[in-house]
Structure 1
Amino acid sequence: MRTQVAVIGAGPAGLLLSYLLHQAGVDAVVLEARDREYVRQRVRAGVCEQPTVELLTEIGLGDRLAREGLPHEGFSLRFDGADHRIALTELTGRAITVYGQQEIVKDLVDAHEERGLPLHFEVSGVSLSDVDTERPVVRYRDASGTLQTLECEAIAGCDGFHGVARPSIPDGVLSVFEREYPFAWLGVLAQTPPSHEELIYTHHERGFALHSMRSPEITRLYLQVDPAEDLAAWSDDRIWSELAQRLAVDGEFTLREGPILDKGITPMRSFVAEPMRHGRLFLAGDAAHIVPPTGAKGMNLAVADVRVLSRALVALLKGDASLAESYSDTCLRRVWRAEHFSWFMTTMLHTDPHADPFARRLQLSQLRYTATSRAAATSLAENYVGLPFGG
């Protein structure tokens, strides 16, 4: 088998890259370890930056997003028992749209299938070789267990933090930067209308909480917990009780409860591997970097990566290697900005069990400044809605 670009991973990064390449006349094959339904249904991020929405609309994948997405022109920042609105659109002229990552994946899977674009699920034993040459090779077993060899001109590793692409780069090539946080998120998906028209980020002495949503009927909520917390210890009643305490505010606010459809605990880390390219192997999305979810940057960074990568690969396959050579540097400028913003939001909003009273007073000072200074609020809003794509 031969193709121009082998794409490892059918998350939003891999699927969007494949679609962009096909629109530019470049052949690509997507390989995914999970089955089709798992890929379409796995619950992930839900906040789309404005540049992400604009790109999806530009390439013809914005119809359902426009119908079902929930545009937000601000969000609430709660602390000291009070609610403070960050007016995103007033401050920046831009907004965010709540539209689940799995919905974007569904749109991309459907677009691939409608156009007959190569998308292979349930592959296993993926290995990469000859990535230092102009003819790298991907070997894998297809859904039937048959060994396949795919020759290509470039490989895009879009297979996440635990995928095979990054480990395929020889030792000593990558520099890794990482930080683990002393807390995790317990996330729940509840069948109940949202309790507020916008997202609520809460700093509370009992720990951080976030009120979000996926649709007018489905609410997404998060609680800060210990990374070693046992999910079995969190009954539905305990979750709702803790959310009510942390989201409480002086004045009128009622937390709407309902059946919990899904729950899980996610540890938090910051991670960057650079460079994001070795030979003809290019890393994108979570394969190259992880951000804590507080800044809502993970999926949006993946979209930014593959927008740059698609252009670099199109040029490379036409004989111009300049964009491929600058791919890593171009992406990393945005990655490190997002890493800093995500770290900033995380450390400002979460209750660090190891922090001393001095650090906690500094945290409250930052929150109060952000809520009362237009300049500070504008800086937060500008990063939150998404900086313009570069490269």
Structure 2
Amino acid sequence: MTETTKVVIIGAGVAGLTLGNLLLRHGIGCVILERRSREYVERRQRAGTIDSRGVRLFREWGLDEVLAGEPIAEVEGGFWIDGEELPIEFDGDDNSDSVFCPQQVLVHNLTEVFLRDGGDLRYEVADISVDPENGVVRYRDTTIIGEYLAGCDGDRGVSRASIPAGVLTRYSHEYGYAWLSVLAEVPAHSSGMAIHSRGLAGLIPRGPGNSRIYLQCPLDDTVEEWTDERIWSELEARFGKPLTAGRILEKQLVPLRSVVYEPMSYGRLYLLGDAAHIVPPMSAKGINLALNDAEVFAHALIHDPSELANYSETCLRHIWNYQAFAAWITDVMHNAGDSSYEGEFRKQIARAELARQFSSPAASRLFGELTAGVN
């Protein structure tokens, strides 16, 4: 069976679903293909803060309803340095433009709106192959020809892999350490980051009953080394206070890195979100970069398709700005604790930078957002 459509979107994450909704609302035909099941996609728990640019996007495009998150109890946020709490306090108006909405909630809401409005979303589409030069996507016995292809299927997806070798330039930076990322059944009563000589730690709400735990660790650590008991013990040591323990649901090691691919298009294929760039989770900006890519692509296609010739250049200006911030905040937060990575001099410089930042109301707002929005 052969089909035709204006845009074939590969991947039903934040980038793909946002793009699909923007196009659908302006009468542009599209099909979203997702290799996983709907249940799997809607259970992935990641970043929880949509910054002011993302909030503005949804409001201006008439999609305010997708920002309705799960109700959670009032969360007390703060930072701890060597066991001493530095609470985050903000003026109510300062932080009003960002919204806490766990990724699984945003994905669910975007999916519901897309399907309600008549969108074509296909799950469990196995064995996808992409021909970017001719705009052809194949799976099983189906061939879809699109005038444009949007690769929104992440860092390990088929979209970027379909681009011939030598076309893309890969820029990357490895930070030299990893995070143990843990999902635990812990009510979201508190949220914060701890800087300690043993390494960075984080406890971030992911809904009313779950929280994310982050523990900085060496790159050569293994998940097996991190027993449940060790996780809770290490978290308490770095925060310097007793914490409520809960059932551990999942664990994974995440090496911290920054990656950018250039250009972000080839033939009829355009890359969006993690398919084109990765920022370290410390920055809490991955979801917001994906939203910006989707808006740039949709705006060009709706108003003047010739603007897609500048898609990569337009997106990359924004991406490199966010990468600069991500590298800065990642280095400062990690260097301020564990001196074994960059040395005692860099540790003292990082602590001086933190002290300067905490004296600024704008910085307090930034650090407050980080306590809720780390990826």
From the superposition, tell whether residues 302 and 67 of structure 1 become closer, same or farther in structure 2 (CA, over 3 Å).
closer
Q: Which of 199, 207, 212 is matched with 2:199 structurally?
A: 207
> Structure 1 residues 93 and 235 mapped into 2: Cα distance closer, same or farther (>3 Å)?
closer
What amino acid does structure 1 have at the position aligned with 2:355? R
Paired position in structure 1 for 2:137: 138
Deviation of 1:212 after TM superposition, in Å, equals: 0.9
1:281/1:64 Cα in 2 relative to 1: closer, same or farther (>3 Å)?
closer
**TM-score (norm. length: structure 1):** 0.85
Task: Specify every segment of 5 or more residues in structure 1 that has no aligned partner in the other structure, as ranges.
Answer: 142-146, 386-391
Paired amino acid for 1:340: A
> What's the counterpart of residue 343 of structure 1?
327
1:255 to 243, 254, 276: 243
Q: What corresponds to 2:117 in structure 1? A: 115
Give the aligned residue type for 2:150.
A
**1:329-366 Cα distance to aligned partner (Å, 9 max, x none):** 22112211111111111111123633222222222222
| Matched residue type, 1:243 | L
Would you say the 8 A contact 1:98–1:214 is kept in 2? no
How far off is 1:202 after superposition? 1.8
Q: Distance in 2 between matches of 1:68 and 1:379?
A: 22
Residue 34 of structure 1 aligns to a residue whose secondary structure is coil
Gaps (5+ residues) in structure 2?
Answer: none
Equivalent residue, structure 2, for 1:356: 343
Superposed CA offset, 1:81-105 (max 9, x none): 3333455556945453322111111
**Percent same amino acid among aligned pairs?**
40
1:144 corresponding residue in structure 2: none
Q: Give 1:371-382 correspondences, 5 Å limit.
A: 371-373=358-360, 377=363, 380=366
Match of 1:20 among 13, 22, 29: 22
Deviation at 1:379, TM superposition (A): 9.1
- What root-mean-square deviation, in Å, do the aligned CA atoms of Structure 1 and Structure 2 show? 2.7
1:130, CA displacement in angstroms?
5.2
2:211 is the alignment partner of 1:219: yes
Greater mean alpha carbon deviation, residues 298-307 or residues 169-178? 169-178
Contact 1:100 1:214 in 2 (8 A): yes
Distance 1:124 1:328, change over 3 A: same
Report if aligned partners of 1:174, 1:273 keep a CA contact under 8 Å in 2.
yes
- Report the counterpart of residue 256 of structure 2 in structure 1: 268
Asked whether the 8 Å contact 1:188–1:263 carries over to 2, the reply is yes
Aligned partner letter, 1:336: W
Quick check: 91-100 or 286-295, which moved more?
A: 91-100
Shift of residue 300, structure 1, vs aligned partner: 1.2
User: Quick one: structure 1 residues 332 and 294, their matched pair in 2 at CA, closer, same or farther if it must change by over 3 Å?
Assistant: same
Aligned length: 366
- Superposed CA deviations along residues 15-72 of structure 1, whole A, max 9, x for unmatched, are 1111110101100011111122211112222222133234334545444643525699
Q: Does 1:283 align with 2:275?
A: no
Match of 1:325 among 281, 305, 309: 309
State the AA in 2 paired with 1:370.
Q
Provide the residue aligned with 2:355 in structure 1.
368
Q: State which drifts further: 122-131 or 81-90.
A: 81-90
Are 1:307 and 2:299 an aligned pair? no
Matched, 1:295 2:283: yes
1:73–1:88 CA contact under 8 A, matched in 2: no
Q: Deviations over 1:285-342 (max 9, x none)?
A: 00000000001011111011101111112235xxx40x21222122112211111111
1:389 is matched with which residue? none
Q: 1:39 to 1:166 in 2, by over 3 A?
A: same
**Aligned-partner Cα distance in 1 for 2:326–2:55:** 20
Query: Residue 234 of structure 1 aligns with which residue?
Result: 226
Which of 129, 136, 145 aligns to 1:127? It is 129
Q: Which stretch shows the higher mean deviation, 23-32 or 33-42? A: 33-42
